Structure 1
Amino acid sequence: MAGGGPVLLPRARLHDILDRTEPRLTVLAAPSGFGKTSLARAWVETLDGTDVVWVTLENDLESRSAFWHTVLAGAGRLGMMGGPAPAPVLLTEVESSPDPAAVIARGLAGSTRPLLVVDAYEKVRAAAAQVDADLLQLVRLVPQLRVVVTTRTSGGLAAPARSLRGEVRLLTEDDLAFTLEETRDLVAAFGAPGTTDAAPGLHAATHGYPLALRAAMLARSQEDQARAGPGRHDPAWQALVAEDLRIQLERGASYSFVLATSVPPYLDADLAVELSDQVSGPAEVKEMLDELEWNGFGRWIPFAPGHQVFQYVESLRDAMLAEARLRPPAEQRRAAELSAAWLHRHGSYEAALEMAVGAGLFGIAARVYAAVVVTTQDAHSTSLVDRHLASVPSQALTQFPALAFGRGLACFRDPSLRGAAAGYFEISARWNRPRFPNPTAGEYLLGHVAKVVSLRLLGRVGESGRAAAEALAFHDRMPDADRERLSFLGPMALRHLGYSQFLAGDLAGARATISRAVAMATDPVVRNHTAVYAVGLGAVEGRTVEARSAQALLAPDAWRPGEDRSYANALGRIGDAVLRLDDFDFAGAAAAFDDTTFRDTTEFWPLLTWTLLHAHVGLGSAAAEARRVEEQLRRRPAPPVMGDSVAAAAVRGALAAAWLATGDRARATTLLRSRTRYAAQLAPATALASLLAGDAAGALAALPDLEARPGHTPRSLATLLVLGAAAAARTGQEEAAAALLERVLAQAGADGARLHLLYLPPEDLAALRRTAAERGTAAVRAHLAAPVPACFVAARTAVALTRQERAVLAALVHHTSRSELAAAMHLSENTVKTHLQRIYRKLGVRSRKAVLERAIELDLL
Structure 2
Amino acid sequence: MNEDPGRDRSSPLDEMPDESDVVAALERAVVAGDLDAATRVVEAAWFPLLRGNGDRVRELLSPVPFTQLRSHPLLAVLLGVTYYGERHRRAKALQYFAVASVAARPRNARISDAERALILAGESVGLRLFGQYSRAVGPARAALRVLDSMGGERSAVIGQLPRVYSQLGMSLYFGGCPVEALDAFSMGLAETGPHDESGFGNLAMLSGMHALDGDILVAREYVDLARGEPWTDQQRAMYTGTFYRIAEAVIALEQFDTTAAQNHLDAMIHDRGTIEHWVAIVRVEAMTALLSDAAATGLSRLESFAISRGSDGRSPSRRASLASVRALLHLALGNIDAASEILRRDAPASPQTNVDRARVSLVRDHTGAALRDLRAIAGTSQSSRTSAEASAIEAAVLLRVSSTGASRSAVDRLGALLRDTGQRSAIALLPRADLERVRSALSKRGHDALFEGVELRSVFVDTDTGSTLTPRELEVLKALERTGSTSQIASALFVSVNTVKSQVKSIYRKLGVNNREDAIAVAIARHLFIDTED
Q: TM-score, normalised by structure 2?
A: 0.71
Aligned to 2:455: 787
State whether residues 383 and 410 of structure 1, in contact with CA within 8 Å, keep that contact through their aligned partners in structure 2: no
Aligned identity (percent) is 21
2:340 aligns with one of 645, 661, 669: 669
Is 1:689 aligned to residue 369 of structure 2?
no
1:698 aligns with 2:369: yes
Residue 690 of structure 1: CA displacement?
Answer: 1.6
Alpha-carbon offset, residue 613 of structure 1: 1.0
In structure 2, relative to structure 1, the CA distance for the partners of 1:664 and 1:482 (3 Å cut) is same
For 1:534, which of 183, 206, 212 is the aligned residue?
206
Q: Larger Cα Rg: Structure 1 or Structure 2?
A: 1
The residue that corresponds to 1:633 in the other structure is 306
Cα deviation code 1:813-853 (max 9, x no counterpart): xxxxxxxxxxxxxxxxxxxxxxxxxxxxxxxxxxxxxxxxx
Matching of residues 732-811 of structure 1 within 5 Å: 732=402, 734-750=404-420, 752-774=422-444, 776=445, 778=446, 780-783=447-450, 786-797=454-465
Go from structure 1 to structure 2 and tell me whether the alpha carbon gap of 1:713 and 1:464 turns closer, same or farther (over 3 Å shift): farther
Tell me if 1:439 matches 2:111. Answer: yes
Amino acid in structure 2 at the alignment position of 1:653: S
**Secondary structure at 2:101 match in 1:** coil
CA distance in 2, matches of 1:424, 1:407: 7
Structure number with the higher helix fraction is 2
Residue of 267, 270, 292 corresponding to 1:598? 270
- 8 Å Cα contact 2:46-2:159 kept in structure 1: no
Distance 1:743 1:567 in 2: 38
What is the rounded CA distance, in whole Å, between the counterparts of 2:168 and 2:128 in structure 1? 10
SS in 2 for 1:348: helix
How far apart are 1:759 and its partner, in Å? 0.8
Shift of residue 767, structure 1, vs aligned partner = 0.6
Counterparts of 1:42-53 in structure 2, within 5 Å, are none
Aligned equivalents of 1:731 and 1:527: distance in 2?
52
Say if 2:54 is the partner of 1:385. Answer: yes
Alpha-carbon separation, structure 1, partners of 2:457 and 2:334: 16
Tell me, which stretches of 5 or more residues in structure 2 are unaligned? Answer: 1-11, 468-534
Query: Residue 376 of structure 2: SS of its match in structure 1?
Result: helix
Shift of 1:604: 1.8
Question: Does the 8 Å CA contact 2:362/2:370 hold for their aligned counterparts?
Answer: yes
Distance 2:340 2:413 in 1: 27
Instruction: Indicate how the Cα distance of structure 1 residues 745 and 469 shifts in structure 2: closer, same or farther if over 3 A, else same.
Output: farther
Instruction: Give the Cα–Cα distance (whole angstroms) in 2 for the partners of residues 402 and 513 of structure 1.
Output: 22
Distance 1:497 1:636 in 2: 24
Select which of 391, 395, 401 maps to 1:725.
Answer: 395
Note closer, same or farther for the CA distance 1:78–1:757 as it changes in structure 2 (3 Å cut).
Answer: same
Distance 1:531 1:700, change over 3 A: same
Provide closer, same or farther for how the CA distance between residues 408 and 608 of structure 1 changes in structure 2, counting only shifts above 3 A: farther
8 A contact 1:404–1:424 mirrored in 2: no
Alpha-carbon shift at residue 384 of structure 1 (Å): 1.0
Q: In structure 2, what is the equivalent of residue 587 of structure 1?
A: 259
Q: Distance in 2 between matches of 1:404 and 1:666?
A: 52
Q: CA deviation at 1:531?
A: 1.6
Query: Which residue of 1 is the match for residue 97 of structure 2?
Result: 428
Q: Higher strand share goes to which structure?
A: 1
| Aligned 1:383-462 pairs, distance under 5 A | 383-389=52-58, 392=62, 396=66, 405-406=77-78, 409-410=81-82, 417=87, 421=90, 424=93, 428=97, 431-434=101-104, 438-462=110-134
Q: TM-score, normalised by structure 1?
A: 0.46
SS at match of 1:592: helix
Contact persistence 1:370–1:402 (CA under 8 A) = no
1:385 counterpart letter in structure 2: G
Please tell me the residue identity of whatever aligns with 1:591: N
CA deviations on 1:94-135 (whole Å, 9 max, x unpaired) are xxxxxxxxxxxxxxxxxxxxxxxxxxxxxxxxxxxxxxxxxx
| Paired position in structure 2 for 1:679 | 350
Contact 1:373 1:379 (8 Å CA) reproduced: no
How far the C-alpha of 1:703 sits from its partner, in A, is: 0.8
Whole-Å separation in 1 of the counterparts to 2:394 and 2:341: 22
Q: Which amino acid aligns with 2:291?
A: G
Q: Which moved more, 1:626-635 or 1:674-683?
A: 674-683
CA distance in 1, matches of 2:95, 2:338: 34
Task: Measure the CA separation in 2 of the matches of 1:528 and 1:708.
Answer: 35
Report if aligned partners of 2:118, 2:143 keep a CA contact under 8 Å in 1. no
After superposition, where does 1:195-234 map in structure 2 within 5 Å? none
**In structure 1, what residue type is equivalent to 2:456?**
V
Work out the CA distance in 2 between the residues paired with 1:793 and 1:671.
19
CA distance in 1, matches of 2:416, 2:255: 18
What is the letter of the counterpart of residue 450 of structure 2?
H
Which stretches in structure 1 are left out of the alignment for 5+ residues? Answer: 1-73, 80-86, 92-302, 304-342, 800-861
Distance 1:487 1:790, change over 3 A: same
Distance 1:635 1:561, change over 3 A: closer
Task: Give the CA deviation at 1:761.
Answer: 2.0
Report the Cα distance in structure 2 between the residues aligned to 1:693 and 1:456, rounded to whole angstroms.
41
Shift of 1:654: 1.2
Residues 762 and 499 of structure 1: CA distance in aligned 2, closer, same or farther (over 3 Å): same
Give the AA of the match of 1:605.
W
Paired residue for 1:512?
Answer: 183
C-alpha distance in 1 between matches for 2:430 and 2:29: 61
Mapped partners of 2:114, 2:330: distance in 1: 48
Distance 1:614 1:498, change over 3 A: same
Structure 2 counterpart of 1:551, one-letter code: V
**Structure 1 residues 374 and 434, CA, compared in 2 at 3 Å: closer, same or farther?**
farther
Equivalent pairs, count: 447
Partner AA of 1:732 in structure 2: S
Indicate the RMSD between aligned Cα atoms, in angstroms: 3.9
Change (3 A) 1:471 1:592: same
Q: In 2 relative to 1, CA 428–704 (structure 1 residues): closer, same or farther, beyond 3 Å?
A: farther
Distance 1:637 1:758, change over 3 A: same
